[in-house]
């Protein structure tokens, strides 16, 4: 049979050559797939890199005018009456809602980043967050969600808007004209724990669960949920103890201002909480927990701190064990 040739290469079938080519193709496909997985593992999408969250003074805010500013006060009239220059008002409560069963749960990650984009935030922006003088939790919650969504540089105004005004810093009533942000989701799963994982950690050596709710809720004295009390073994450290909320000097009383880090370290040491512990913070709805998360992880540098976002609202709706009364001491 006459053989046809093209570019001097025979088109006749050779089993050895065919098998060799097939193996080469398989190797190329496998290697290509391996490289794709490798590069995806380095991608920021789903990366568990940590952000840098800091507490800053009003003077620092004025000196860093290139940062984006989020005013997360819930009442829009407060923003209209006066705000930090270049601030955009995005109330902290818009980041949560019902999930088909539980109330006040964080929206899914895609919706959260859409809200940030509508407030003019992009992935690479540096973001300042503040709230009113009674609501540091709103500021730390939005700071936490910024980290969770992929923002890397975040600052919370120590003292909030009250502290900023009391420091005689510039305020304005002008509304900022801005462009929508370009925000690609970078879901940082390392900052949180879900119910399934939490169940496996309760009672384990080296695991500490901090509950920052008021003592009456922690002990189950208030009939609020279907089941009242706390997660077994949890330590009750109300969030206000980290702030100047109860300062005896009325002029210094401010729940949006942190105590000194030395004072906070003493509180933690008195409760036998160590930097090496695997720490989970769980509260009522995942909001109060954000203050202690930010302080422990970012200001004190504790490496293993996460939030149980479902918190008591989710946990109390299950049949998992609970405890009531004051925390048990060992």
User: In the annotation, is 283 catalytic?
Assistant: yes
- Closest among 256, 312, 257 to 280, alpha carbons compared: 312
The bridge status of strand 87-89 relative to strand 96-97 is: unpaired
Number of other residues whose CB lies within 10 A of the CB of residue 80? 11
Task: Let me know if 32 is exposed, middle or buried by CB neighbors in 10 A (0-12, 13-18, 19+).
Answer: exposed
DSSP of 300-323: S--SSEEEETTHHHHHTTSS---B
How far is it, in rounded angstroms, from Cα 125 to Cα 317? 38
For residue 295, give the 3-state DSSP assignment: helix
Distances (CA, A) of 23 to 12, 19, 32, 115, 130: 19, 6, 14, 50, 61
Q: Which residue in 84, 142, 258, 283 is the catalytic one?
A: 283
Task: Say how many C-beta atoms besides its own lie within 10 A of residue 293's C-beta.
Answer: 28
CA dist 143 and 258 (Å) reads 15
* Residues contacting residue 73 through CB under 8 Å, at least 6 positions apart: 79, 89, 91, 131, 132, 135, 138, 161
List the catalytic residues: 283
């Amino acid at each position: 049979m006459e053989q046809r040739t093209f570019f001097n290469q025979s088109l006749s079938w050779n089993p050895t050559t065919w098998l060799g080519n097939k193996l080469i193709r398989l190797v190329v496909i496998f290697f290509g797939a391996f490289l794709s997985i490798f590069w995806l593992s380095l991608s920021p999408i789903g990366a568990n890199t940590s952000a840098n969250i800091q507490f800053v003074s009003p003077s620092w805010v004025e000196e860093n005018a290139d940062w984006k500013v989020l005013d997360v006060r819930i009442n829009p009239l407060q923003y209209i009456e006066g705000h930090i220059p270049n601030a955009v008002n995005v109330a902290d409560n818009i980041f949560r809602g019902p999930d088909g069963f539980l109330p006040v749960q964080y929206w899914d990650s895609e919706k959260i980043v859409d809200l940030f984009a509508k407030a003019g935030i992009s992935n690479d922006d540096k973001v300042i967050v503040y709230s009113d003088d009674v609501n540091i939790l709103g500021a730390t919650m939005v700071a936490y969600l910024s980290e969770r969504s992929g923002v890397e540089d975040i600052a919370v105004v120590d003292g909030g808007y009250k502290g900023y005004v009391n420091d005689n810093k510039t305020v304005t009533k002008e509304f900022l004209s801005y462009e929508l942000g370009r925000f690609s989701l970078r879901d940082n799963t390392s900052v949180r724990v879900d119910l399934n994982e939490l169940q496996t950690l309760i009672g384990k050596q080296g695991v500490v669960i901090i509950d920052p709710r008021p003592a009456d809720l922690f002990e189950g004295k208030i009939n609020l949920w279907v089941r009242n009390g706390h997660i077994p073994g949890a330590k009750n450290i109300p969030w206000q103890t980290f702030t100047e909320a109860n300062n005896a000097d009325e002029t210094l009383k401010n729940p949006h201002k942190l105590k000194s880090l030395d004072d906070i370290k003493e509180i933690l040491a008195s409760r036998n909480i160590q930097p090496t512990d695997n720490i989970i913070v769980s509260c009522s709805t995942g909001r109060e927990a954000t203050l202690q998360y930010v302080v422990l992880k970012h200001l004190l540098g504790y490496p293993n701190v996460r939030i149980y976002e479902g918190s008591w609202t989710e946990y109390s709706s299950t049949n998992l064990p609970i405890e009531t009364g004051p925390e048990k001491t060992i």
